[in-house]
Amino acid sequence: MTDSEASQRKIVNFSGVSITPEEIVDFLKHEMLLKDLCQKLVSQKIIAQAAQDRGVTVTPEEIQAEANDIRYEKRLEKASDALAWLTEQMITTDDWETGIRTRLLAQKLAEHLFDKEVEKFFAQNQLDFEQFVLYQIVVPYEQLAWEIYYRVEEEEISFYEAAHLYDIDERRRNYCGYEGKLYRWSLKPDIAAVVMSKPVGNIIGPLKTDQGYHLLMVTEFIPAELNSASRQEIIDKLFEEWLESELNYLLNR
C-alpha cells in the first residue's frame, strides 16, 4: 500500500489519533450498531431514488435558509462561530450542507407523497388525535405505588410532590411528573383506554408495565383538531410506515 493510499484510509484525526474506516466498522460491529446504521444508509438511498423518480429536489436557497435557522438556534452569529462549531463536530461545511440536504429531501418527499392523504387519514382516525395533558409517577414496587396512591387520595401529599420525590426517572422528578400533551396513540392501547375513560384529576393505577408501577393523572382533555402540528404528525407517520415497507421489501426480496 502506498503512503497516499494509507493517508486516504485515515479518514478521521481525533486529537492526533488517526482512525481508519476498518476501525470504525469494527467498533460498530462490537457495539451491535452496524445493522441499524446500514438500515439508515439504505433508507437514505430509498429516499434519494424515490425523490429522483418523482422530481422532488432541494434547492441551494432552501439549504441556505435551513442552515441560517440552525445558526440562529445555536446562536452562531458570526461565520467564524459557525466554522468553529463545525470543526468541533469534526465535519466540513460541505458535510453539513449534505446532511441538511438529506433531511430536507426526506421532508419534501414525505409532503409530496402524503400531503393529499392527511384529511382522509384524520377523518378515519380522529379518535387517535384526541389529546390529554398527562402527569405520571413510575416506581419500582407495587406496595410503594399503593402507598403513594392512598396518600394522594387522602391529600397528605399532592400528586406533583409525590412525583418529585419518588419517580424513578430524573426528568419526571424535575418536572413533578409532567409528561406533556400526548395523543392517544402515544400510549399502549390498554393504558390509553383506561386514561381516556377517567375524569380529569382522578388518579389512575397502579398499572404494571416492564418499567415498573405507574400512577397517572390527566389534567386536561383536548378534542381532536386538524392543525399544522397534527397535519405534520400524520405526514411523518405515513412516511415512516411507507419507508419501513420499502426497506422490508428491499431487504427480503
The whole-angstrom separation of Cα 129 and Cα 88 is 41
Contact 204, 216 (CB under 8 A): yes
How confident is the model at residue 196, as a pLDDT?
A: 82
Q: What are residue 138's DSSP bridge partners? A: 214
9, pLDDT greater than 70: no
- Average pLDDT in the 77-96 region? 93
The three cell numbers locating residue 54: 418523482
1, pLDDT greater than 50: no
The residue among 110 and 197 whose pLDDT is bigger is: 110
* Domains in the chain: ranges and CATH: 33-116 (no CATH), 131-222 (3.10.50.40)
- Average pLDDT in the 118-131 region? 91
Q: What is the pLDDT of residues 162-183, one digit of tens each?
A: 999 999 999 999 999 999 998 8
The whole-angstrom separation of Cα 182 and Cα 203 is 17
Q: Report the predicted TM-score, pTM, of the whole model to 2 decimal places.
A: 0.73
2, pLDDT greater than 60: no
The three cell numbers locating residue 97: 450542507
pLDDT band at 10 (very low <50, low <70, confident <90, very high): low
The three cell numbers locating residue 39: 438500515
How confident is the model at residue 185, as a pLDDT?
A: 77
Q: Is 195 helix (H, G, I), strand (E, B) or coil?
A: helix
- Average pLDDT in the 122-143 region? 92
Q: What is the pLDDT of residues 185-243, one digit of tens each?
A: 778 888 888 888 888 999 998 999 899 999 999 999 989 999 998 899 999 999 999 99
Cβ atoms within 10 A of the Cβ of 167, count? 22
Cβ atoms within 10 A of the Cβ of 92, count? 12
Q: Is 67 helix (H, G, I), strand (E, B) or coil?
A: helix
141, pLDDT greater than 60: yes
The one-character DSSP state at 76 is -
Contact 28, 20 (CB under 8 A): no
How confident is the model at residue 198, as a pLDDT?
A: 85
pLDDT band at 5 (very low <50, low <70, confident <90, very high): very low
The single-letter code of the amino acid at 117 is: E
